[in-house]
Structure 1
């Protein structure tokens, strides 16, 4: 089986239209940046196209729960580094982590965990992942053995700086 990178990383620039009057990234836009980074990384690193799956097979994932901690503001025109990883999965769901840093990765900006539920677009119901998807998730998952919950993980990342 192919050896996949477990932690994916890319850079993004904070844009004017996403900022508040203080030139900080608007809180709701952090989620957009983190999810966009994950989607791009999946396509670039794994050739995993969520939009192709939706259009060809009528399947996708919907957000069931999002936890986010805002640590430090991301500034207008700042280049940030976003790391994402799948930290657990089950028959019907995925849990991924996204972490935003400054470019040098010495200032933690935000941490997010999102639970996604596998969804059939035609039936509008959740359903089980295929065996092929389960094998793929098994190859890319990066469990966090020492972080039992979101708050603990945020503390660990803060202390690691």
Structure 2
């Protein structure tokens, strides 16, 4: 049985922070995408870097939405959880949550829509049958009526965002 919610820890580094020792807004996506790439390799055996190199296939970001709840600070250890919330023949929707070390304070919520992409032809590409089987096993859909703002409000009501 494959996990649906993947999790990893990262430490906020000096070169990623602003003068106030907060993680720079633009760097949240770098931390989340790095975590997701490592997680799918560790938990699903899906090496997206090898796939890009050997098959010329990958995913590109088509849309991102982020809600910054509480700053992440220099040298703080954060927990990043990600999950596949939807998929189609050519795209994926991923949700990411960044928490403090003990997962009591939510720092950020991110929604990412990724398009499967053929690098050499520079156009979208259909997911293989093997990928579709994997996605069916691990998808954790949100309620159909859930939009980003509603999800932010829902999470704020449930968890601490000091």
Tell me the TM-score normalised to structure 1 length. 0.96
Partner of 1:84: 82
| Gapped regions of structure 2 (runs ≥ 5) | none
Partner of 2:52: 54
Partner of 2:21: 23
| Gapped regions of structure 1 (runs ≥ 5) | none
Q: Report the Cα distance in structure 2 between the residues aligned to 1:133 and 1:146, rounded to whole angstroms.
A: 23
- 1:117 and 2:98 correspond: no
Query: Paired residues, what number?
Result: 159
Partner of 1:134: 132
Deviation string for 1:102-155 (max 9, x for gaps)? 011111100000000010112111021111111111111111127611111111
Q: Report the Cα distance in structure 2 between the residues aligned to 1:90 and 1:140, rounded to whole angstroms.
A: 13
Tell me the TM-score normalised to structure 2 length. 0.95
Partner of 1:100: 98
- 1:13 and 2:11 correspond: yes
Partner of 1:159: 157
CA, structure 1 residues 155+147, in 2 after alignment: closer, same or farther (shift >3 Å)?
farther
Moved over 3 A (4+): none
